Amino acid sequence: MNRRERRAPRHPLQAAAFLLTFGTGMFDAISYLGLDRVFTANMTGNIVLLGMGLTTDQDIPVRLAAIALAGFAAGALVAARFLQRQPTGLQVPLRSLVLIGALAVLTAASAVVFLVVPEAPHGLLVGITAALSAGMGMQAVVAKRFGVPDVSTVVLTMTLTSWVSESRLGGGTGAHSFRRGGAVVLMASGAAAGGALLLLGDGVALSGAAVVVLTALALMTRGHLAARRAAAGGSAAAAVPGGQPTDARSTAPTS
């Protein structure tokens, strides 16, 4: 595989996965810094928080971490059940678009809440944490189904491991370094962007995250429509012997 092939983007799915990875960094920065130190996407972090909360006397948000875990699991479960009946043959089925659209709606609704109620009560923060965690659970399942290698969009531990261990410095070929390194850099960049936007308010930060999700949804929609057109074209060609359309003039009787 030459360098150009390794760096060739897998449009639109890879671009969408990269955007969702950037968005994940934003979500976790917003939730950790703005929703009382819990994560809506990084469930490993929440599990560690729960474990520490059982044995330390420090102020760790055990309840919110548990709510985020439950929300993520519920969202993943709903998404898995919802995608069970999706048709095969399309890389971006319509139901996947519905789920990412639901994440965009949850994010936008949360942004509106913060814009309308800047000092949201604790109960409202709990609801937003659960809703965003559920949305990230849905995103994780969708990303797993359309499967851009090394880009799960919500966790990058194995991506980082593969990037380093299979790099030229690690004795590997360095294949896929662009995709793996890009995912790591994008999540960190998303976290930086989320933290910066929080300086303008939680509502502004969540509005930015919603824009990122909607952009990814637009790329996925383009992929879905392209796949449908390709499938329709293939069906039309298969309906004609030899896969070639006929010409009415060539089949007309001659005098």
Question: Model-level pTM?
Answer: 0.83
pLDDT tens string for the chain (255 positions)?
444 444 444 545 889 999 999 999 999 999 999 988 999 999 999 999 999 998 988 888 999 999 999 999 999 999 999 998 776 555 678 899 999 999 999 999 999 999 999 888 888 999 999 999 999 999 999 998 877 878 889 888 888 888 888 887 888 787 888 888 999 999 999 999 999 999 999 999 999 999 999 999 999 998 888 878 877 776 555 555 555 554 444 444 444
Reference 216, options 13, 49, 31; nearest CA is 13
Q: Alpha helix (H) ranges present in the chain?
A: 3-7, 13-34, 43-55, 62-83, 94-116, 122-146, 157-165, 177-198, 202-238, 248-251
Could you state, in order of their start, the residue ranges of all structural domains in the chain? 10-235
Rounded to whole angstroms, the Cα distance separating 156 from 162 reads 10
CATH of domain 10-235: 1.20.1250
In angstroms, the CA 100 to CA 214 distance is 8
